């Protein structure tokens, strides 16, 4: 894309504002699907721009739908399908280290702020989002101390850390299998 080429103006950004949706799930589900379609369409021409759009959507989706009735599970299912599609777009984008690191920081913060939690599944794909074993290893190192503290037999943090699945996924991508076994085995000790 040249500097004279206009950037894509994301339609979904106007629709996914804080508490943009009321309690009815169907309008929100429709908008989630439309956002993913918009991002996929851009991905065919401009993969890096689409990845940026995917990150932006994932930052916005939970605050926008936090009042939606999710009792049927259909809202969560729609968001989970979106996550699967968008992770692939972000992972495939040819981005420099600085850009990819910034995307990961933004996604980490969105995941940490996810109160409902709608984007919880994102953590399971953290290794894939890291792309390289080296970046995944760095993230695993960053998350390992807190993950250990909640998975060890006598957790010191009350037994929950939103980055636990991220850590395990990053360890897997970094091929640090022995540490995964250690963590999972320690979690099973009663």
Q: Which of 66-75, 144-153, 155-164, 180-189 has the highest mean pLDDT?
A: 66-75
Residues 35, 97: Cα–Cα separation, whole Å: 26
Please indicate whether residue 180 or residue 184 has the higher confidence score (pLDDT).
180
- Per-residue pLDDT for 98 more than 60? yes
Mean pLDDT of 119-143: 98
pLDDT for res 1: 46
Residue appearing with tokens 């953590």: 123
Check if the beta carbon of residue 32 is closer than 8 Å to that of residue 64.
no
Residues 87, 126: Cα–Cα separation, whole Å: 9
Confidence of residue 115 (pLDDT cuts 50, 70, 90): confident
The Cβ of residue 6 has, within 10 Å, a number of other Cβ atoms equal to 6
Confidence of residue 88 (pLDDT cuts 50, 70, 90): very high
Please indicate whether residue 120 or residue 189 has the higher confidence score (pLDDT).
120
Q: What tokens does 84 get?
A: 């699967």
Mean pLDDT of 151-160: 65
Residue appearing with tokens 């989630």: 32
Cα angle for residues 148, 107, 97 (degrees, 5° grid): 95
Structure letter (DSSP) for residue 8: P
Mean pLDDT of 174-180: 97
């Amino acid at each position: 894309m040249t500097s004279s080429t206009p950037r894509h103006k994301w339609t979904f950004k106007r629709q996914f504002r804080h508490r943009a949706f009321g309690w009815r799930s169907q309008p929100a589900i429709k908008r989630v699907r439309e956002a993913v379609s918009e991002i996929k369409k851009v991905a065919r021409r401009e993969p890096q721009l689409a990845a940026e759009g995917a990150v932006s959507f994932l930052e916005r989706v939970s605050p926008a739908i936090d009042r939606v009735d999710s009792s049927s599970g259909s809202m969560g299912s729609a968001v989970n399908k979106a996550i699967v599609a968008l992770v692939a777009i972000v992972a495939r984008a040819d981005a420099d280290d600085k850009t990819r690191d910034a995307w990961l920081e933004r996604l980490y913060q969105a995941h940490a702020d996810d109160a409902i939690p709608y984007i919880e599944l994102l953590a399971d794909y953290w290794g894939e989002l890291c792309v390289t074993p080296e970046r995944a290893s760095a993230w695993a190192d960053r998350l390992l101390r807190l993950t250990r503290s909640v998975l060890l037999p006598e957790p010191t943090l009350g037994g929950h850390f939103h980055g636990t699945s991220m850590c395990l996924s990053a360890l897997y991508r970094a091929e640090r299998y022995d540490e995964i076994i250690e963590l999972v085995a320690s979690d099973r000790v009663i």
